[in-house]
Structure 1
Amino acid sequence: MQQQQVQGLAIIALFGGFAAVELLRRRFFSPHATREDNRLDLVMGLLLPLFIVPAIILLCNLLGQWLFPDAQNQLADWPIWLMIVALLLSDDLTQYWWHRLSHTSWMWPFHRAHHAAAYMGVRVVYRNNFFYYLFMPGLWASGIWLYLGFGWVYVSYAIVKMAVIIGAHSEARWDEKLYAIPALRPLMWLLERTISTPATHFAHHALSQKDGIGHYTGNYGNLLFFWDVLFGTAHITRQYPPAFGLPDDIRHGSEKWQVQVFYPLLKSSRAETVLSGTPVPPPEA
């Protein structure tokens, strides 16, 4: 079985497992989800894994064969630890900065869709603007590493990363019960400072950060929460925000799904919106 097939099946299994837990806990179908939300979640849930990522990998491969044909698989004999370090720095660290940059005014329109959901869950994981992913540096770096021979190491890395990211968005809240076990306190202290957890990532999606729980101006890490600790953007409370979403959506209603996905090719006519092309800053403290 080819590497991409193994990776795809593993990620589908991860999504399915967390979704099953959400269904059992009656948290998969949120009463806060609008028709536009449902369509946006579905479209980007298919576009990213079935079109954007394969297209980037294919293009990196074609460009590599054209410009650097002798370089294909030249790094296949690198030590595994070195490949992992390269992936963490070129993919996960750059994604931290890409995510952090997307909370500035000029990039906010391309990330707004991810925060517009007034709910959490596995369906939010891929929810973003089309161009947010198309130009994400880490995806292109991963395509280059694959061309150079990272193969199964990249597949393993991608599966672990997606397990953490899906778990951090899921209403399964896997960390909630673990916090209550006294014997696990040292482990959880270390874990929540190493990888993204539901508590830290839910805080990033909060409707407000005035209660001391929400923290949408930080907690940017995807696989490693350590980047937030390192760069001073971490906020750890072990609590979950009472509400999610964006204030302007509450006031004016959801944006059209196609505008959220394909801005700036499509623009909004709704009042008080960054998707009209008029500068509107992201939420601030």
Structure 2
Amino acid sequence: MIVFITFWVLIIFTLIRQDIRTISWQDWLLDIVGLLFQGLVIPILQITVVYQGYKMLFSEWENSINLGSSLAFILSFVLIDYLYYWNHRLLHTPWLWPLHQVHHTMTQRNVFGTSRNTLWTSFFILYLWVHSLFIYLLADPTGYILGVSLTSALDLWRHSEIEPKPNSFITRFLSPWLILPLDHAWHHSNNSTIGNYGANLKIWDRVHGTYFFHDLPPIHLGIKTKLTLIQKFFFLSFSNFYL
């Protein structure tokens, strides 16, 4: 429910604030297919193929971990966030960058481009595998699922330009610890080596020296590629990007 409400609120604000007619039909197609794939296909795979796979492999471990809702939430929102930090950094290495570079072709900050990726990229993001595993292992996964939902909602938000004013109380409260849309905008600048790899928390970037701050958004977003639309969908080329 959190993700559903966040998605539609951000869609409405995006339509009000931005001239979406400037988005090319190819980018529209990438974004809509990406949202459907990540929002429908991946969850279905998680609760069917992946979950059932764990059930077959580790049948005696089902509901075997009793953490309580609070600790399960921390596991999801904090500890898995740290694993994602490294997962994301790996996607920026030369070996996995071809899988991830399509996501960095976004030239506008809006919710539509949140899931812009090749169709195979989700299989290299730990969420597909780890969330199913812990939902299978936990005796009560309610807190864990709440953390997953909040992480997904924040993912939609940080790809948008909907953010509190720079000197507002909300910004002063959230900025020290939470990745905000402005932070993630710099990750999506036309310099793809800028850090800010975390999803929820800034502490991981700060601890590992990859945090970048600027009080204004970047002038230019997105990298340019020579990939065709088919290559962007199906990852059929290791073509290098150029700035």
TM-score by length of 1: 0.77
Question: Deviation of residue 189 (structure 1)?
Answer: 4.6
User: Could you tell me which residue of structure 1 aligns to residue 57 of structure 2?
Assistant: 67
User: Could you tell me which residue of structure 2 aligns to residue 109 of structure 1?
Assistant: 98
Q: Distance in 2 between matches of 1:96 and 1:80?
A: 23
Q: Is there any run of 5+ residues in structure 1 with no aligned partner, and where? A: 1-8, 209-214, 268-274
User: Could you tell me which residue of structure 1 aligns to residue 157 of structure 2?
Assistant: 167
Q: Is the 8 A contact 1:218 1:233 kept in 2?
A: yes
User: Could you tell me which residue of structure 2 aligns to residue 188 of structure 1?
Assistant: 171
* 3-state SS in 1 of match to 2:120: helix
Question: Deviation of residue 203 (structure 1)?
Answer: 0.7
Question: Deviation of residue 68 (structure 1)?
Answer: 2.1
Residue type matched to 1:29 in 2? I
Q: Distance in 2 between matches of 1:171 and 1:30?
A: 17
Q: Is the 8 A contact 1:14 1:166 kept in 2?
A: yes
Overall identity of the aligned pairs, in %: 25
Equivalent of residue 47 in structure 1, options 20, 37, 45: 37
Question: Deviation of residue 242 (structure 1)?
Answer: 1.3
- Pair 243,43 (structure 1): closer, same or farther in 2 beyond 3 Å: same
User: Could you tell me which residue of structure 2 aligns to residue 56 of structure 1?
Assistant: 46
Q: Distance in 2 between matches of 1:106 and 1:74?
A: 36
- RMSD of equivalent CA atoms: 2.2
- Pair 190,282 (structure 1): closer, same or farther in 2 beyond 3 Å: farther
* 3-state SS in 2 of match to 1:111: helix
Q: Find out whether 1:87 has 2:76 as its counterpart.
A: yes
Residue type matched to 1:135 in 2? F
Q: Distance in 2 between matches of 1:43 and 1:256?
A: 16
Residue type matched to 1:257 in 2? L
Q: Is the 8 A contact 2:78 2:201 kept in 1?
A: no
Give the 5 Å matches for 1:1-285.
9-25=1-17, 27=18, 29=20, 31=22, 33-75=23-65, 77-88=66-77, 91-149=80-138, 150-172=140-162, 174-175=163-164, 177=165, 179-181=166-168, 184=169, 188-189=171-172, 191-208=174-191, 216-246=193-223, 248-249=224-225, 255-263=227-235, 267=236, 275=237, 277-278=238-239, 280=240
Structure with greater Cα Rg: 1
Q: Distance in 2 between matches of 1:122 and 1:136?
A: 19
